Amino acid sequence: MEQLSINSVFMKDNFLTIPKASQWASEFLKRDISESNIAYLIQYGKVKKHNGGNAVYVDLNDLRKYYESYRKERELNWKKRLGDDLNWALSFDNLREKDTTKHIHRLHPYKGKFIPQLVQYFIDDHKDNFKKDVYFKAGDVILDPFVGSGTTLVQAHEMGIHSIGVDVSHFNCMITETKLLDYDMVALEKEIQRIRKAILDHETNNHVVIFENELLANMADFNNKYFPSPEFKYKVEQGQINETKYAEEKEKRFLKIYNDLVKKHDIELNHFSAKNFLDKWYIKNIHKEIDFAFEQIKKLKDVKNKKILAVILSRTIRSCRATTHSDLATLKEPQVSTYYCWKHKKICKPLFSIKEWFDRYAVDTLNRLNIFVKLKTNSHYAIIPADSRTIDIFKEVGWRNKKFYEILKKQKIKGIFTSPPYVGQIDYHEQHAYAYDLFGFKRKDELEIGPLYKGQGAEARASYVDGISKVLLNCKKFLADDFDVFLVANDKYNLYPTIAERAGMSIINKFKRPVLNRTERDKSPYSEIIFHLKSL
């Protein structure tokens, strides 16, 4: 009788199952809201979970309140902070994360990259009624002189546009290349399965296994008691709990349990004073497994397979660094103890083995490559590790790809779509220091334009203007007469009018877009500008 009573409550119109909530939200927002989207809102405490018999329900009023706030207040608040000239259409807020990280775009993390939809918006032929301008079409050639992780080149290749990418970072070029290479997928899958098995079978320190199992059991009990999900997240979201005070007290309580277990099982952590990145940022057992995995990869004979497996390993070890989940994109101090995780709203721990993550990323990489195989075109591409200020683009393409070179001689490069480095925000080599350390690539930090270590002072800004201007001047030699240049930048110092002038170009349009999906804990409103430049 009690079960019937519970179900009868949820038969009312104001309570919806997850499938019904998905349908309602899709109609309310006039776009697709999947069941997984609703489950996400419940999981992260955005709406309250109600149990009713064999189903989970949400309160329609709770759901409506969330989406009304999301739909109306978000845009209004951002425009209030950043200005009414904010182009909300370029926020792509209708897209899910799996859309903005589609297929091979998520083969490897890269701080500072833009989403593929932004590239597609400006270089696609836009047959939509609302946009008539056509900047690039299939058969054209597009250049990205700061190729990064290759977003522009991937999107161009998907649309039948030839592309050239240049970057001073050897590792950036490797990430981009592995996304675009043609693989024997059957042979690659066999190699990946063999390496996965070798890593899974690799003997792990028994002390570590026993320790971690005991640690996980203690963490589960503690989190279920003090951070029950999704109830705790919902209370935090609604302001019913002082998260900082509550988390600090519980973090200290569990830390004693952790330290006792480390001592009990005699666990080696790391060398805090080490200058070597792998020694400093990885727990001892992780470091040993990384070395073993790399030795297996080095034995491969197929160069393409060796490169993609190295990228899988790099992605793995990035996730296994001894840091908090919130600080994964921007390392602060090695985290070798348990901690309150601001991202997951519970006590989390550092990792003690790479096996699970390598296995997960190996499977994910195969899936993503198989999806992209169906989207690839016959367009040519060239990826060049070099300084865009001085490179002879035609010469470099000439000895890499004769057919592509012939196309270049006939029609030259139609234009540029790139995101130059932001002044004083990222050290582009340092963000992948683990890969340079492991693979032995030569670093060229001195060639970076606007790196973090130079700051954002007057001297750094002047150096930045000089560097970006020289890149545009050099690249201009290889562009067609009626070129289009698109630069994605956060120009808070108003440097780009000077840069354009020095490069003999004119800014003919600016598009100010909100950047909604950021990995940092700081989620405050933030925008960037897409500058459209043409020849003076």
pLDDT along the chain (536 residues), means of 10: 38 78 85 83 85 83 82 74 84 80 93 88 61 80 97 96 97 97 96 93 81 95 94 90 95 96 88 75 89 95 96 94 79 87 92 93 97 96 98 96 96 96 89 90 93 93 97 97 94 95 96 73 74 94
Q: How far is CA 516 from CA 83, 100, 111, 118, 237, in A?
A: 15, 12, 15, 13, 19
> Amino acid identity of 510?
K
Nearest-angstrom CA–CA distance, 357 and 320: 8
Q: What is this structure's pTM?
A: 0.84
Helices assigned H by DSSP within 202-328: 206-226, 231-237, 243-265, 277-281, 284-298, 303-319
What residues form DSSP beta bridges with 165?
144, 383
| Phi, psi angles (nearest 5°) of residue 458 | -60, -45
Phi-psi region of 127 (alpha: psi -120 to 50; beta: other; left: phi over 0): alpha
Nearest-angstrom CA–CA distance, 380 and 364: 26
Tokens of 529: 């500008």
Torsion angle, alpha carbons of 145, 150, 155, 160, to 10:
70
Helices assigned H by DSSP within 96-205: 97-100, 116-123, 151-158, 170-180, 185-201
- According to the model, what pLDDT value does residue 375 have? 96
Among the listed residues 367, 328, 350, 424, the one whose alpha carbon sits nearest the alpha carbon of residue 103:
367
- According to the model, what pLDDT value does residue 2 have? 36
Among the listed residues 320, 340, 316, the one whose alpha carbon sits nearest the alpha carbon of residue 331:
320
Q: How far is CA 67 from CA 21, 22, 45, 53, 455, in A?
A: 12, 12, 14, 26, 40
Pairing of strands 162-167, 141-144: parallel
Tokens of 83: 């200005």
- According to the model, what pLDDT value does residue 467 have? 97
- According to the model, what pLDDT value does residue 341 have? 93
CATH number of 88-103+114-182+376-535: 3.40.50.150
Q: How far is CA 313 from CA 74, 291, 479, in A?
A: 38, 10, 38
- According to the model, what pLDDT value does residue 39 have? 86
- According to the model, what pLDDT value does residue 471 have? 98
Q: How far is CA 449 from the centre of its chain?
A: 21
CB atoms within 10 A of CB 378: 7
Q: Give one DSSP letter per residue of 428-487, joined into a string.
A: TTGGGHHHHHHH-PPP-GGG-SS-GGG-SSHHHHHHHHHHHHHHHHHHHTTEEEEEEEEE
- According to the model, what pLDDT value does residue 523 have? 57
What residue segments make up the domains of the chain, in order of their start?
A: 2-82, 88-103+114-182+376-535, 185-366
- According to the model, what pLDDT value does residue 198 have? 93
In 3-state terms the chain splits into helix, strand, coil percentages (rounded to 5) of 50, 15, 35
Give the single-character DSSP code of 233.
H
